Structure 1
Amino acid sequence: MQYWKRLGVLQTNPIPLFGDSWRILFRTMSNKKFAEYIYNLYPQERVVGSYNFSVPTLFLRDPEIIKQIGIKDFEHFVDHAPLIDPEADPLWSRNLLSLSGDKWREMRRLLSPTFTSSKIKSIYLTIEEAARNFVTYFKEKQEEGIIELEVKDLFTRFTNDIIATTAFGIQVDSLRESNNTFYLMGKKMTDVTGFSNIFRFFMGQIFPKLAKACGIRIIDAKSAEYFAKVIDDTLKQREKNNIKRQDMIDGLLEGRKKQASTNSKGNQITNLDITAQAFIFFFGGFETIATVMSFGAYELAINKYVQDKLREEIKANVSSDGKVSYETLQEMKYMDMVVSEILIKWPPFPITDRICTKPYTIKALDKNSNDIPILLHQKLQIPTSAIQNDPKYFPNPEKFDPERFSEENVKNIVPYSYLPFGIGPRICIGNRLSLTEVKLMFFYLLLNCEIVPVQKTITPPILTKDLFVSIKGGTWLGIKYLK
């Protein structure tokens, strides 16, 4: 518990066995508040020493160091820290987020073509149809006036349907069929709330052998079995009937065929590998995008002038048939500013990490500081939300201000202080798709509806003490269809 102190690094005040992690494990702080707490301990320092239980972990505060580690010296920090023993949870350990080294490089190479602009454009109409179908639901209920609802639940149903069709090749309507199996299993699989779920995450990291012996997994066993069967059935159907859908599964099937035709000696893609990638697509696209949408709706509801200005841009860009093209959506400047500001204030992952894969040294800035050796397998954390809410980089961070991203102001943003999707080669592979989903949702929602605060809207929001960022008691808002 004095590891960093001995190296001349200012550190937290950890307690035996639990280090600093007790604050999250026992839910005295949310993940977001925890990141901000450590980040703000020593405002003048480039790094802060902390302890994930008894494991020394270095918090990175300086965007320049983050650039160095995430991009320039990436080969020393290729991997994320493992969350579970691979044998204890093979579905989790085989997904792109968890893979390491050459296995990660190969899977990233195979998946990258699926997330290019041209591929997203090819499935754009599917996403757009889901967004329009979503708004039709409110049109059907327009006689009810303002519909008061918990929007996080609402948006998870939208993201669920997108994932169902683009990653699993099936059609569901989770608004009208609220208890469909696909949605319920997905919700269960991505649930990281409460002490027991937080405990699972920590056990897998700190005591992997014990977690394995106790049968602790990241992914719920029933959900894993269900989605594995869905993928298996989908693969059989596509191969039998030669079905092509231009989606993630197709990309991996093509990669498997190329491996077979070239007699590749690399790791052959199995059905389990494909299921694992579909799962991480679900994990990344179900909860996190819904989180961004729900906080975005919240900010638009309490900042009416921003909502009105965005609606005006939407009306100016809607075509005569009431739709918007992919190209037009990407060119909408104020829409991009609003979504960027949502991601500044409410990044879905408050902390990301890297693990040292080759010994490294963070060089001292001057004679008054020390070099910091980073050992093999040592963990580094990047407190995304804390950096993005630091007035040093983004003045008046409590204010929802899309003008930060105007053409005039965006050039003043310090490089690598804006990190909602991560950094470098391990940046979120689905970031373009995520942004397209969020923009389409707000385009059609604001074109047809007004978002308003209601009595149950909590201002300012009180956050839960869970791993993901969410509002205590739910994000309650009203949606009124504009006739």
Structure 2
Amino acid sequence: MSDFQGRVFMLLDPELIKMIAIKNFDHFTDRRPTFWNSNAKNPKTILNRTLFTLSGNNWRNMRATLSPAFTGSKMRLMFELVLECCENMVRHYRKQLTDSSSVEYDMKDIFSRFTNDVIATCAFGIRVDSLKNPNNDFFINGKKTTRFQMLSVFWRVFAINLFPRITDALGIELIAREQLEYFSELILKAMETRNSKNIVRPDMIHLLMEARKGVLKHQHQRENEQNDGFATVRESEIGQAQTNFKMMDVDMVAQCSIFFTAGFDTVSSCLMFLVYELTINPDVQQRLYAEVLQTAKEHEGLPLSYESLQNMKYMDMCVSESLRLWPPIPLVDRLCVSDYRVDDGRLHFTIEKGAGISIPIHGLHRDSRYFPDPERFDPERFNDRNKVCINMGAYLPFGVGPRNCIGSRFALMEVKAIVYHMSMNFRFVRTENTPVPMKLTNRSASMGSDRDVIVALQLRKNE
């Protein structure tokens, strides 16, 4: 097939996906520049500097520089910040409920506010309370940043691709200039304050500042990280960062901006879909609650630890199955950077340089050849016995190969932590306003429901 950028190959075979996106990654190192100008010269341009959009050696250098900031040990440093947001959210809704009440809430809205507060504290080093203060500047600008309505996206992408010089001169990007400047000012002021006052805070700005100094890279070489889920890519798979690579202020702003854009909507949607499935599958919800109680009992009143969260097997099974049914990104792409000959004994053709590759994650996750009865929410697919049988070329919730999501560890930690705390305190109850069956929207470029996902919260008593 083809689009306005040229020829595109749709990959439907998991083995071919692994061969192209992993084994022969050197032929497909870049993403297709669909919503950014890869040749932008405007110094205020942000999006073409992010890890998501960089290409070639620029991407390799940035990925190798940032990878040490996303290891399990660094996630442990930020775990307390995430816990603060979880506990604040639980306190807020406990105050609104009595022992006998059951109150309906829009799950997308409450989890958008939660992820906003997590990103504010973990990425930007500021504390906001989007539950108590729903119209705070950070939340409002965040909503505007990630409100990718189809018509607006279409015209911006259309203009960027057809009139790159004009849009570059005017500073037009997918995200409005007003929001980019707002977040840029926050980040630059935070870095200036920390440098002048020697402030150390275990958040993303600190990790980026350390990465720029090369401190994290040196530490990373001494660490022997344990794979705790979707591990970050080893530097040996992407090439070492160049010794003369320098991360400028604008590069740091770009990484924080994409961290917000990627984490705000995708994580809140992931939580919305997961709670929806727990609501309409009360037996699964009850089993998860039992594991939560057991974990809390083992802590003897102490706060949840990062290690205990990673050891919750049924929690991981539920999250993994929800990501299968409702992957945050329904499709990923790659750009062929040098001619590639496909010859696996069945297929014989050439993917020319400049052609695109498209991998339909949502379609693969719903394919009965790889997941029997694919429309059913069944966490048992991911138990110890069954998960080893899953073709990992057909299960790609965080992308595939060296260009997978660098923040997957953080996203999983965030999702599991809030589900743990919410499940401990509340029962998720289906009402007549809960959208069953779930229908996806066609009005947004991201994964979402076509109407509000309403679920009632009910305080748990001594069960």
Q: Identify whether the pair has TM-score above 0.5, normalized to the shorter chain.
A: yes
Name 1:278's counterpart in structure 2.
256
Could you tell me the percent identity over the aligned residues? 39
**Superposition pairs of residues 47-58 of structure 1, within 5 angstroms:** 50-53=1-4, 55-58=6-9
**Superposition pairs of residues 306-321 of structure 1, within 5 angstroms:** 306-318=284-296, 319-321=299-301
Following superposition, the deviation at residue 57 of structure 1 comes to: 0.8
**Superposition pairs of residues 142-291 of structure 1, within 5 angstroms:** 142-143=97-98, 145-205=101-161, 208-209=164-165, 211-212=167-168, 216-258=172-214, 266-291=244-269
Name 1:70's counterpart in structure 2.
21
Name 2:304's counterpart in structure 1.
324
Name 2:349's counterpart in structure 1.
372
Following superposition, the deviation at residue 211 of structure 1 comes to: 4.5
Letter in 1 for 2:433: K
Match of 1:349 among 329, 333, 341: 329
Name 1:411's counterpart in structure 2.
388
Match of 1:106 among 61, 82, 86: 61
Q: Distance in 2 between matches of 1:275 and 1:410?
A: 39
Q: Distance in 1 between matches of 2:108 and 2:203?
A: 26
Structure 2 vs 1, CA of residues 215 and 270 (structure 1 numbering), >3 Å: closer, same or farther? closer
Letter in 1 for 2:300: S
Q: Distance in 2 between matches of 1:413 and 1:192?
A: 33
SS of the aligned residue for 1:391 comes to coil
2:252 pairs with 1:300: no
Gapped regions of structure 1 (runs ≥ 5): 1-49
Task: Say which is worse superposed, 225-234 or 249-258, in terms of deviation.
Answer: 249-258
Following superposition, the deviation at residue 327 of structure 1 comes to: 0.9
Name 2:76's counterpart in structure 1.
121
Q: Distance in 2 between matches of 1:198 and 1:217?
A: 12
Structure 2 vs 1, CA of residues 357 and 323 (structure 1 numbering), >3 Å: closer, same or farther? same
Letter in 2 for 1:391: S
Following superposition, the deviation at residue 441 of structure 1 comes to: 0.8
Per-residue CA deviation, residues 149-197 of structure 1 (Å, 9 max, x unaligned), is: 1111110111111111111111111111100000110110111123122
Following superposition, the deviation at residue 52 of structure 1 comes to: 2.0
Per-residue CA deviation, residues 267-293 of structure 1 (Å, 9 max, x unaligned), is: 422111111000111011100000100
SS of the aligned residue for 2:456 comes to strand
Q: Distance in 1 between matches of 2:211 and 2:302?
A: 38
Following superposition, the deviation at residue 397 of structure 1 comes to: 0.9
Gapped regions of structure 2 (runs ≥ 5): 216-241
2:36 pairs with 1:84: yes
Q: Distance in 2 between matches of 1:129 and 1:54?
A: 45
Q: Distance in 2 between matches of 1:327 and 1:478?
A: 31
Structure 2 vs 1, CA of residues 272 and 213 (structure 1 numbering), >3 Å: closer, same or farther? closer
Per-residue CA deviation, residues 374-427 of structure 1 (Å, 9 max, x unaligned), is: 122211011011001100000111110000011121122123111000111111
Structure 2 vs 1, CA of residues 202 and 421 (structure 1 numbering), >3 Å: closer, same or farther? farther
2:424 pairs with 1:469: no
Q: Contact conserved, 1:114 with 1:247, CA < 8 A, in 2? A: no
Q: Contact conserved, 2:45 with 2:173, CA < 8 A, in 1? A: no
Name 1:14's counterpart in structure 2.
none
**Alpha carbon RMSD of aligned pairs, Å?**
1.9
Task: Say which is worse superposed, 418-427 or 314-323, in terms of deviation.
Answer: 314-323
Q: Distance in 2 between matches of 1:202 and 1:322?
A: 53
Q: Contact conserved, 1:81 with 1:353, CA < 8 A, in 2? A: yes
Q: Distance in 2 between matches of 1:241 and 1:158?
A: 30
Following superposition, the deviation at residue 364 of structure 1 comes to: 5.5
SS of the aligned residue for 2:46 comes to helix
SS of the aligned residue for 1:57 comes to strand
Following superposition, the deviation at residue 205 of structure 1 comes to: 4.2
Following superposition, the deviation at residue 306 of structure 1 comes to: 0.5
Per-residue CA deviation, residues 458-478 of structure 1 (Å, 9 max, x unaligned), is: 111121112111111221111
Letter in 2 for 1:470: G
Structure 2 vs 1, CA of residues 54 and 96 (structure 1 numbering), >3 Å: closer, same or farther? closer
Name 1:6's counterpart in structure 2.
none
Q: Contact conserved, 2:45 with 2:171, CA < 8 A, in 1? A: no
Letter in 2 for 1:243: I
Per-residue CA deviation, residues 226-279 of structure 1 (Å, 9 max, x unaligned), is: 0010011101101001111233222332333349xxxx8734221111110001
Name 2:52's counterpart in structure 1.
97
Following superposition, the deviation at residue 54 of structure 1 comes to: 6.0
Following superposition, the deviation at residue 53 of structure 1 comes to: 3.3
Name 1:449's counterpart in structure 2.
426
Q: Distance in 1 between matches of 2:391 and 2:123?
A: 36
**Superposition pairs of residues 7-22 of structure 1, within 5 angstroms:** none
Structure 2 vs 1, CA of residues 206 and 349 (structure 1 numbering), >3 Å: closer, same or farther? farther
Structure 2 vs 1, CA of residues 219 and 312 (structure 1 numbering), >3 Å: closer, same or farther? same
Name 2:231's counterpart in structure 1.
none
Q: Distance in 1 between matches of 2:303 and 2:243?
A: 48
Aligned length: 428
Q: Distance in 2 between matches of 1:254 and 1:422?
A: 27
Following superposition, the deviation at residue 112 of structure 1 comes to: 1.0
Q: Distance in 2 between matches of 1:175 and 1:292?
A: 19
